[in-house]
Chains A and B, each alone.
Chain A
Amino acid sequence: MRARLSSLSLAAIAAVSCFQVEPLPDCGQNAGEGGLYTPHYVCMPRAGAPLEISIAPRRLLRGDFDDEGVDNDFAVLLDLGRIQIHTTRDQKTELSAKLEAEGRVEAIAAARFFGEGHGDDLLGVTAGDKASGTAGKVFGFHNGGDMFASTAPEQFEAATLVPWGNCPAPNSIETLDVVEVENAKGLAIGCDSGPPTAEKPEEEALDGIVVEADEGVPFALQRRVGLKIPELTGIHAVNVAQLDGLGFEDIVAAHRPMDSEHESLAIYLVSKDAFTTDAEQAERLDIPLTHFEIRRVLLDDLDGDGDVDLVAVHPSDRGITVVRQRRSEPLLFEAPQFFDVGREIRDAELGDFTGDGEVDIAVAHDVEGTGLNAVSVLIRTHDLSPGQIDYALAPAGEVSGEIVDLEPLDYDGDGRIDIGAVVKVGSEGRVLFWLNRSPAGE
């Protein structure tokens, strides 16, 4: 007896194959060595070899320093007050300028502040002496179109006349922008005021400074207003965004109320009047949180309802707090939602890293039991009603060394948000970038 398979079996195979479910797209090469990869969601290969730096880095800042119109350049804040400016064209990066500020640089910001027709200028704050109450300084390097050829910065003391006070410990700086206006309209500076000093017990330090940019006025004479709130010990982790829809960007900062062990988010709604000497204290909204230590405040429309939502990063609490804004007047916010990462956080950034049109949260954190750091992505989950948010934590990749800072930028100029990171390796460091090739966005 002999038998043979025939069209019956082939038809069966074809019929059964109809039950296949088309798999979600994926980058089959697993993003290559050192890339960030989560099956079907994140695919971010490394953009070439990392940039080696001989001094330990502290901060990575994106900008458009070469006036290309794309934020694919970056500044690296190093120890000892040094700042490197790197510009990128055609995915080739070169060191364009080396800057140096006096004192310990606590924070930097990039924006067109001094004049027009050139790339971003570089601004920052340096620490004063908290013990003596000596104010820190606010400095600004002119881009000038010649890539910071004039390397000496303009600067002024972090002190205000209205109200009278010093900011000995400036900790953060952001530029205030107005929609459709290229140049920044001001600066928001956070100050860690702390308790009054022993030498000047009657003087209370500033909690923050708001500077109004005036093109015709020297930098040192820019109009500025101090923020001094009795119940606060200072604000930090400043960030700015348009919250109330009225012209100027508003300021969101973290602070720890005196009567609470937990931190809160403070929202300052900035108007033109805030910059005049007759201005009353800016309207402030407080959002108490239930966790400690806020390292960063991030702002973006997470739930897709058109309002800017708030994100607080808690390194030691190993999680992220999200506060959604209700679309209503006056400004109202939902109850905070905490998303546990489970590991000590180094930094976090917002962006659409999966390419699905939703805002995700990239988190750099420790890997327990190893000397490695890793990047995970809080991916927005599906089937949520407008205004709702939920995240699923997905590991993406590991890095050798200590991730000091993450920065979202469009490194390759393709319109998709990439991720840059500065990694500290001993007393040296490296800068590396992951290019967004996530399959959902293709």
Chain B
Amino acid sequence: MLSRGRTRRNGRIPALARSCRLGAAIGLSLALGLGGPASARQAEPAAGADEAEAQRLFEEGSKAYNLGKFDVAIEHFEAAYELSHADALLYNLGQAYSKRYEVEAEPAHLRRARVLFLNFAKIREAAGSDASDARERIAAIDAQLAELGKGEAAAQPEGPAPAPESPAKQPYRPRAAGIAGYALIGAGLVLGTGLGALGLVSAGRIDEQRRDEWQYVPLSGAREQQYEDSYQSARALAFAGIGVGGALLVTGVVLVAVDAARGGKSAPRRAQLRPGGLAVAF
């Protein structure tokens, strides 16, 4: 929180003022982390009008923070930081983003908060000051991100990092397994219906022909056997075609289902599969 009445001397913020501000900010943040409504840190007074404006923005942001309008608080804190460059505002912003995550549950807010805490910690540590509080906040955020299964917090490089983009939803595009599955479905349908129908039709025609010849005169044993052999062969072909076709169909369906479950992300491509001559193009 910016205090009134303090002025820059020789362009520098007095150390006491800075330490007091920081201590007040930390104390206040700790209080807020325990359930307190406010989360703002004290910032160093800006020079002149900028300082006044920064102060005003900070207060407005604090009000918004207290009201739970974390997006408004972030805007004000960012604007205040633009004017004051008070690194304590980084901590405030981290807090605001953390709170915002609690409301919107968007992992991006959490990652943003981590970046802000990290930057604050580095600045403080570079200045020889204690940043354990910030580090604790970072650790807590890492644990949260780990639970979310992202694991990106551990891979995030130290330093300012751009906000990660949320992945846009892509339409399903089959990969190799899915393409093979569709091919097997097609082959199964052709074999099953084609050979099955041809076999059964042939068996029917053979039986009809046999009955036609047997209409008046019983067939000789040799001819009867000939008919029986051909009839059984046609039926065997039909059932074999249906069986193999069915197996291919089921296998193809399974492959397509598995591929869809895994979420094919391949760019659309033109498939030219030729199992037995069947051509399928997407």
Are B278 and A3 touching (Cβ within 8 A)? yes
Digitize B199-218: 1 where CB-to-A-CB distance is under 8 Å, 0 elsewhere.
Answer: 10011011001101101111
| A8: Cβ under 8 A from any B Cβ | yes
Residue of A nearest to B206 (CB): A21
A6-B194 Cα distance, complex, nearest whole Å: 12
Which of A9, A19, A38 is the most central at the interface, judged by chain B CB atoms within 10 Å of its CB? A19
| A198: Cβ under 8 A from any B Cβ | no
A393-B216 CB under 8 A given contacts A16-B234, A16-B237, A23-B209: yes
A21-B216 CB under 8 A given contacts A8-B277, A9-B194: no
Give residues of chain B (30-54) contacting chain A, Cβ–Cβ below 8 Å.
none
Chain A contact residues, majority secondary structure: loop
| A54: Cβ under 8 A from any B Cβ | no
Q: Which residues of chain A are within 8 angstroms of B281 by Cβ–Cβ distance?
A: 1-2
Digitize B164-200: 1 where CB-to-A-CB distance is under 8 Å, 0 elsewhere.
Answer: 0000000000000000000000110011001100110
Among the listed stretches A133-141, A303-311, A377-385, which one makes contact with chain B, having 4 or more residues with CB under 8 Å of it?
A377-385
Give residues of chain A (17-37) contacting chain B, Cβ–Cβ below 8 Å.
17, 19-21, 23-24
Q: How far is the CB of B212 from chain A (nearest CB, A)?
A: 6
A23-B212 Cα distance, complex, nearest whole Å: 10
| B241: Cβ under 8 A from any A Cβ | yes
Are A24 and B234 touching (Cβ within 8 A)? no
Are B218 and A382 touching (Cβ within 8 A)? yes
| A217: Cβ under 8 A from any B Cβ | no
Are A21 and B220 touching (Cβ within 8 A)? no
| A41: Cβ under 8 A from any B Cβ | yes
Are B202 and A19 touching (Cβ within 8 A)? yes
Give residues of chain B (232-272) contacting chain A, Cβ–Cβ below 8 Å.
233-234, 237, 241
Give residues of chain A (325-362) contacting chain B, Cβ–Cβ below 8 Å.
none
Are A13 and B221 touching (Cβ within 8 A)? no
Q: Which residues of chain B are within 8 angstroms of A8 by Cβ–Cβ distance?
A: 187, 190-191, 194, 276-278
Q: Which residues of chain A are within 8 angstroms of B220 by Cβ–Cβ distance?
A: 382-383
Q: Which residues of chain A are within 8 angstroms of B282 by Cβ–Cβ distance?
A: 1
A86-B32 Cα distance, complex, nearest whole Å: 137
Q: Which residues of chain B are within 8 angstroms of A381 by Cβ–Cβ distance?
A: 217-218
| B67: Cβ under 8 A from any A Cβ | no
A4-B279 CB under 8 A given contacts A12-B241, A20-B206: yes
Q: Which residues of chain B are within 8 angstroms of A144 by Cβ–Cβ distance?
A: none
A38-B215 Cα distance, complex, nearest whole Å: 10
Partner of A19, one of B186, B190, B237, B277: B237
| B132: Cβ under 8 A from any A Cβ | no
| B219: Cβ under 8 A from any A Cβ | yes
Q: How far is the CB of B41 from chain A (nearest CB, A)?
A: 62
Q: Which residues of chain A are within 8 angstroms of B212 by Cβ–Cβ distance?
A: 39-40
Partner of B226, one of A1, A5, A21, A395: A21
Q: How far is the CB of B164 from chain A (nearest CB, A)?
A: 37
| A427: Cβ under 8 A from any B Cβ | no
| A7: Cβ under 8 A from any B Cβ | yes
A21-B237 CB under 8 A given contacts A12-B198, A381-B217: no
Q: How far is the CB of A382 from chain B (nearest CB, A)?
A: 3
Partner of A16, one of B198, B215, B218: B198
A7-B216 CB under 8 A given contacts A382-B221, A383-B221: no
A382-B222 Cα distance, complex, nearest whole Å: 10
| A49: Cβ under 8 A from any B Cβ | no
A401-B186 Cα distance, complex, nearest whole Å: 65
Are B217 and A392 touching (Cβ within 8 A)? yes
| A394: Cβ under 8 A from any B Cβ | yes
Are A24 and B280 touching (Cβ within 8 A)? no
Are B276 and A6 touching (Cβ within 8 A)? yes
| A181: Cβ under 8 A from any B Cβ | no
A3-B279 CB under 8 A given contacts A12-B194, A41-B217, A392-B218: yes
Are A19 and B218 touching (Cβ within 8 A)? no
Are A15 and B216 touching (Cβ within 8 A)? no
Are B195 and A16 touching (Cβ within 8 A)? yes
A19-B198 Cα distance, complex, nearest whole Å: 11
A6-B218 CB under 8 A given contacts A12-B194, A12-B195, A20-B206: no
| B227: Cβ under 8 A from any A Cβ | yes
Q: How far is the CB of B116 from chain A (nearest CB, A)?
A: 51
A39-B218 Cα distance, complex, nearest whole Å: 13
| B156: Cβ under 8 A from any A Cβ | no
Q: Which residues of chain B are within 8 angstroms of A19 by Cβ–Cβ distance?
A: 202-203, 206, 230-231, 233-234, 237
A3-B217 CB under 8 A given contacts A19-B206, A19-B237: no
Q: Which residues of chain A are within 8 angstroms of B223 by Cβ–Cβ distance?
A: 382
Are A7 and B277 touching (Cβ within 8 A)? yes
Q: Which residues of chain B are within 8 angstroms of A394 by Cβ–Cβ distance?
A: 216-217
A17-B227 Cα distance, complex, nearest whole Å: 14
A15-B234 Cα distance, complex, nearest whole Å: 10
Q: Which residues of chain A are within 8 angstroms of B231 by Cβ–Cβ distance?
A: 19
Q: How far is the CB of A385 from chain B (nearest CB, A)?
A: 12
Are B198 and A379 touching (Cβ within 8 A)? no
A113-B217 Cα distance, complex, nearest whole Å: 42
Which of B205, B212, B217, B220 is the most central at the interface, judged by chain A CB atoms within 10 Å of its CB? B217
Are B230 and A6 touching (Cβ within 8 A)? no
Residue of A nearest to B275 (CB): A8
Q: Which residues of chain A are within 8 angstroms of B277 by Cβ–Cβ distance?
A: 6-8
A5-B278 Cα distance, complex, nearest whole Å: 7
Q: How far is the CB of B178 from chain A (nearest CB, A)?
A: 13
A48-B219 Cα distance, complex, nearest whole Å: 33
Q: Which residues of chain B are within 8 angstroms of A15 by Cβ–Cβ distance?
A: 237
Q: Which residues of chain A are within 8 angstroms of B215 by Cβ–Cβ distance?
A: 39
A395-B231 Cα distance, complex, nearest whole Å: 28
Q: Which residues of chain B are within 8 angstroms of A39 by Cβ–Cβ distance?
A: 212-213, 215-216
Give residues of chain A (145-160) contacting chain B, Cβ–Cβ below 8 Å.
none
Q: How far is the CB of B217 from chain A (nearest CB, A)?
A: 4
Are B241 and A41 touching (Cβ within 8 A)? no
Q: How far is the CB of B228 from chain A (nearest CB, A)?
A: 10
- B residues sitting closer than 8 Å to A (CB atoms) are 186-187, 190-191, 194-195, 198-199, 202-203, 205-206, 209-210, 212-213, 215-223, 226-227, 230-231, 233-234, 237, 241, 276-282
What 7 pairs across the A-B complex have the smallest Cβ distances? A6-B277, A382-B220, A394-B216, A19-B234, A392-B217, A16-B198, A8-B276
5 A–B pairs (Cβ distance < 8 Å), ordered by A: A9-B194, A19-B233, A19-B234, A38-B216, A379-B217
> What 12 additional pairs, Cβ within 8 angstroms, besides A13-B198, A381-B217, A382-B221?
A8-B276, A12-B194, A16-B198, A17-B202, A19-B206, A19-B231, A21-B209, A21-B210, A21-B227, A23-B209, A41-B217, A392-B217
